[in-house]
Amino acid sequence: MLESARSRLKAWIVAGVGTAAAIAVAGVLGAFAARHEPLPALAPAGRIETGQWLLRPLKAYATAEKYTYGALLRPGGKALVLELEMTNRTAKSTKDYFDLLQASQKTVDPATKPFIVLTRDSTMSPELHPGMPERMAYIWQLPDGAAVPASFNLTVISKTYKPRDNLYGLPGWFNPTPIGTMTIPVGAGPDGADMQP
């Protein structure tokens, strides 16, 4: 009886020491640091590189027009428009920009997906071609009755290139990760000047 209790205690101590050692090693290797590190603040007037895109925010404004670049808004609603210059940095035409920018939950309902439009001729989410900068507009419908904020927060999300994915062995862009946040002032209307770097 006493013998078995002693061996059980021994087993518990060994297991406890092992677990503590594993957690300590993981901590030293930085497993917990990543969770608490705040995202860097990006300069909104600068150039922002993500894996696939080069971004240059130009201006943001709120609008109550029925159509903004061909995107139909809910009647009586307002929309937040962010115009930016986007350049495809990859070697292939792509439209992998739907998860690129995330407006903060304070401003936009997270369930609202933005319309993404080519401002040149109001084409909805076209493929963008390698090395050809284009002016694009992200249009978020604001919640009904919400006041237009003076500025809003955006999280920029980047993906990583893998020459071979684990399933098909084919190249692709994976693992979306936030790389920074920026605060963009909201102008009065579509005629405001572009931000200069």
Single out the segment in contact with another protein by CB under 8 A; choices: 6-14, 67-75, 121-129, 138-146.
121-129
Give the nearest distance from C-beta 138 to another protein in angstroms.
18
Q: How far apart are CA 145 and CA 100, in angstroms?
A: 27
Q: Does 127 bind another protein (CB under 8 A)?
A: yes
The distance from CA 20 to its chain's CA centroid, rounded to whole angstroms, is 36
Cα 106 to Cα 44, 55, 139, distances in angstroms: 19, 23, 16
At 101, which helix (H) or strand (E)? Answer: strand 101-103
Q: How many CA atoms lie within 13 A of 170 on its CB side?
A: 3
Residue type, 130: P
In this chain, which of 21, 164, 174, 175 binds another protein, going by CB under 8 A? Answer: 164
Q: Does 174 bind another protein (CB under 8 A)?
A: no
Residue type, 102: Q
Residue type, 33: A
Q: Does 6 bind another protein (CB under 8 A)?
A: no
Single out the segment in contact with another protein by CB under 8 A; choices: 47-55, 61-69, 103-111, 122-130.
122-130
Single out the segment in contact with another protein by CB under 8 A; choices: 33-41, 74-82, 103-111, 167-175.
167-175
Q: Does 162 bind another protein (CB under 8 A)?
A: no
Q: Does 170 bind another protein (CB under 8 A)?
A: yes
Q: Does 7 bind another protein (CB under 8 A)?
A: no
Contact 139, 77 (CB under 8 A): no
> Which residues of this chain interact with another protein, rule CB under 8 A?
91-93, 118, 120-121, 123, 126-127, 129-134, 164, 168-171
